[in-house]
Amino acid sequence: MTTNKKDVLLDVRDLTVQFGSRRRPFTAVNHINFQIYRGETFGVVGESGSGKTTIGRAIIRINPTATGDIIYDGQKINGRISKALDKEVTRKIQMIFQDPMASLNERAKVDYIVAEGLLNLPKRLSKEERARIVSEALDSVGLLPEFASRFPHEFSGGQRQRIGVARAMVMGPEFIIADEPISALDVSIRAQVLNLMAKLQRERGLTYLFISHDLSVTRFICDRIAVVHKGVIVELAETEELFRHPLHPYTQALLSAIPMPDPERERHKVLKVYDPSVHDYSADTPSFQEIRPGHFIWANGKELKEYEQQFQS
Amino acid sequence: MDEKTILSVENLNVKFRLRGETLHAIRDISLDVYKGESLAIVGESGSGKSVFTKTFLGLLDSNGFLDGGHIYFRPDPEDPDKTVDLASFTTEKEWLTIRGKQIAMIMQDPMTSLNPLKTIGAQIVETVLLHHKISKEEAHERAIHLLTDVGITEPERRAKQYPHEFSGGMRQRVVIAIALACGPRILICDEPTTALDVTIQAQILKLIRDLQKKYQLTTIYITHDLGVVANVADRIAVMYAGDIIEVAKCDELFYDPRHPYTWALLSSLPQLGVKGEDLYSIQGTPPSLHQEIHGDAFAPRNPYALNIDFIERPPFFEVTPTHKARTWLLDPRAPKVDPPHYIQKLAERRSRS
């Protein structure tokens, strides 16, 4: 991807998502900003409870937003929007879920699971057309068309996740939110699903939002990564930049925890634990700032100076 | 069974009866576990790694049974000559002398292995009282002590709380405390960190390692992720389709693996992948264990398979005294095959450091 001309597909501005009663709200996502470019894979990394899934669900209109705008392809898609736009968004943005054992309807056959989204299209498709689209979708994810008449329990975990991918692809989406799509899978199956996602991206020019807690996987497939901690993006940079110059202590803690298949290196590994109390935000409040082109960090004025010094040294 | 060995498995076979068919889940495995070591058993789901270790505790599902083989265990550290054969145990009473007291197990998911209706303290006390004849107060003291050991701060207050008030990592710590409550000598950790975040995973693995030293435990890790075991295991056994296909010391397995399946497992790790290229992935699916397997079970998926791999099961070839692999490629008559380039890269990295 060329760096000078980037086409913003999704622009998230000052997004906040709250849960609970209005009197005692719990803020899951706190005033975050980021942009996703067309054709890239954007990673969101964080621990469980950090709000990474909520970000994805807010974009796809499952969780209502409290403040901020989500601009998709020049149009605001959060809050109150017209029914037509809502349908368009549902078609263009699709989701792949974490656990293929739980995300498929156990009582439906594969052809129904894959075709369900098509029933929602404004134009009614004939049975034959639908069958053709389903078998194409199955073929594109490496499954045989005759699997359409089977039930989910007849498949292995990797095959089920392929069905999940086919279900998303059948709508002809532009943007896919993949929420931990490989965490529940075996290592060898992970490779297959990752390769499949990369292949579909090449063939169809898809844009991915890849949500994960595992930095080693995101390093492999993401172009840029945002690190989320307690509903705040603490650092955002291009993948290699983030791995070479992790600035925020939380990013450093995450990086130090990646298990490596290399005993020599593992023996000398120093585990960093993130302690939020190292920040003194009482007087000087932090904000999200660009420290180098494309490298953003959540810091206050004093910290920003320290981080800049790290770059110089 | 020599002196260092605490548990010795000989020619173990496990079968399951399933809808009138028999499924051969563990196919003639022999393995020694040494005192004080940490051994990792690695394999895909369905390879039989959990079933294998469940036989040490008599926890097989009711349709499963041992079909030949022995599991010798040394129950008394003071008396090294005494051994019992766990494979001959039939009654629950016999198992209670082993389960918890001698061999304890940590399950995969800390969300489901605790009782949600009882406080953490009560659950530990319960386990302590089951195995030791001490008063309730003493048991409570012990529980507090255990919670401190597993790194839970304010143990007195935390002991009065219920599982839902703990985070996933903290719950796994409690599960470890319960497993240690009766002073076991072998601790089996079945995917102890798969349900946890990366940062918590590293902390839990470190905790288990520290406890292993403190209590002089022998630990057996079960996992599907080779990336995780590099820093915890002394030795690694790789399982495929109910058989151990390679056993080696940790360094030997990562830097000089010999079985094509181990190559494939290592190559498919995203940590070793090159961006923009496809990750190596194993073609096909593991064989069905309903049918008799001839030859090397991995042969149909193995690009390096020889003709004999389809006919005769390879024996263990010794690479070094601590490293052996079940593949015909190690036979002196076999053609020389270079491992895939991912593996060579790993080995190079080592020679540089």
Measure in Å the smallest separation between the Cα of B284 and chain A Cα atoms. 10
Q: Residue A112 maps to which CATH number?
A: 3.40.50.300
Give the domain range for residue A145: 8-278
Nearest to B254 among A157, A257, A263 (CB): A263
Pairing mode, strands A41-45 and A224-229: parallel
Instruction: Give the tens place of pLDDT for each residue, A14-61.
Output: 999 999 888 888 899 999 999 999 999 999 998 888 888 899 999 999
Residues B325, B259 contacting (CB under 8 angstroms): yes
Asked if the structure places residue A305 within a domain, the reply is no
Task: Output the six-digit token pair for A280.
Answer: 């003194």
State the Cα–Cα distance between residues A181 and A165, nearest whole angstrom: 9
For residues A298-309, average pLDDT: 87
Contacts of B231 in chain A (CB under 8 A): 259, 263, 266-267, 269
Q: A72 pLDDT band (50/70/90 cuts)?
A: very high
Sheet holding A287-292, edge to edge: A93-96, A175-179, A207-212, A41-45, A224-229, A232-238, A295-299, A287-292
State the Cα–Cα distance between residues B56 and B103, nearest whole angstrom: 8
State the Cα–Cα distance between residues B149 and B294, nearest whole angstrom: 49
Asked if the structure places residue A292 within a domain, the reply is no
Task: Output the six-digit token pair for A265.
Answer: 């290196």
- Name, in order, each residue with C-beta under 8 angstroms of B87's C-beta and a sequence gap of 6 or more: B12, B55, B66, B69, B70, B71
Residue B311, CA atoms < 13 Å, CB-side half-sphere:
3
State the Cα–Cα distance between residues B267 and B25, nearest whole angstrom: 26
* Residue that has been written with the tokens 């953003």 in this structure: A296
Its pTM stands at 0.86
Burial of A7 (0-12, 13-18, 19+ CB in 10 A): exposed
Asked if the structure places residue A74 within a domain, the reply is yes
Written as one letter, the residue type at B3 is: E
Nearest to B268 among A188, A239, A260 (CB): A188
Asked if the structure places residue A290 within a domain, the reply is no
Nearest to A258 among B44, B45, B198 (CB): B198
Pairing mode, strands B5-18 and B64-66: antiparallel
Q: A2 pLDDT band (50/70/90 cuts)?
A: very low
Asked if the C-beta of B225 comes within 8 angstroms of chain A's C-beta atoms, the answer is yes
Q: DSSP assignment of B93-143, as one string?
A: HHHHTTBTTTEEEE-S-TTTSS-TTS-HHHHHHHHHHHH----HHHHHHHH
A226 pLDDT more than 70: yes
Burial of B93 (0-12, 13-18, 19+ CB in 10 A): exposed
Instruction: Give the tens place of pLDDT for each residue, B27-77.
Output: 999 999 999 999 999 988 888 888 999 999 998 888 999 998 999 999 887
Asked if the structure places residue A200 within a domain, the reply is yes
Question: Are A261 and B269 an interchain contact pair (Cβ–Cβ within 8 Å)?
Answer: yes
Asked if the structure places residue A313 within a domain, the reply is no
Q: For B306, list phi and psi in degrees, rounded to 5.
A: -100, 165
- The mean pLDDT value of chain A amounts to 88
* Residue that has been written with the tokens 């699916």 in this structure: B285
Give the three-state DSSP class for B261: helix
Question: Are A256 and B202 an interchain contact pair (Cβ–Cβ within 8 Å)?
Answer: yes
B173 or A280: which leads in pLDDT: B173
Write down how long chain A is: 313
Instruction: Check if the interface score ipTM surpasses 0.90.
Output: no
State the Cα–Cα distance between residues B65 and A187, nearest whole angstrom: 29
| B315: number of Cβ within 10 Å | 12
Q: B235 pLDDT band (50/70/90 cuts)?
A: very high
Q: How many domains does chain A have?
A: 1
Interface test with A, best of B44, B109, B199 (most A CBs within 10 A): B199
Domain annotation for chain B: domains and CATH numbers: 5-43+58-233 (3.40.50.300), 242-352 (no CATH)
Q: Return residues 213-272 of A near B (CB < 8 Å).
A: 213-217, 219-221, 239, 253-254, 256-267, 269, 271
Residue in B closest to A156 by C-alpha: B285
* Residue that has been written with the tokens 């490293």 in this structure: B323
Instruction: Give the tens place of pLDDT for each residue, A258-274.
Output: 888 888 888 888 888 88
Residues A156, A117 contacting (CB under 8 angstroms): no
For residues B154-181, average pLDDT: 91
For residues B277-295, average pLDDT: 82
State the Cα–Cα distance between residues A202 and A223, nearest whole angstrom: 14
Q: For A155, list phi and psi in degrees, rounded to 5.
A: -115, 160
Nearest to B270 among A189, A216, A274 (CB): A216
State the Cα–Cα distance between residues A143 and A294, nearest whole angstrom: 39
pLDDT at B352: 59
State the Cα–Cα distance between residues B15 and B51, nearest whole angstrom: 10
pLDDT at A200: 92
A3 pLDDT more than 50: no
A1 pLDDT more than 50: no
Tell me the torsion sign for CA atoms B284, B289, B291, B295: positive
Q: B351 pLDDT band (50/70/90 cuts)?
A: low
Asked if the structure places residue A309 within a domain, the reply is no
Calculate the alpha carbon distances from A122 to A33, A76, B98 in Å.
Answer: 33, 21, 65
Asked if the structure places residue A300 within a domain, the reply is no
B212 pLDDT more than 90: yes
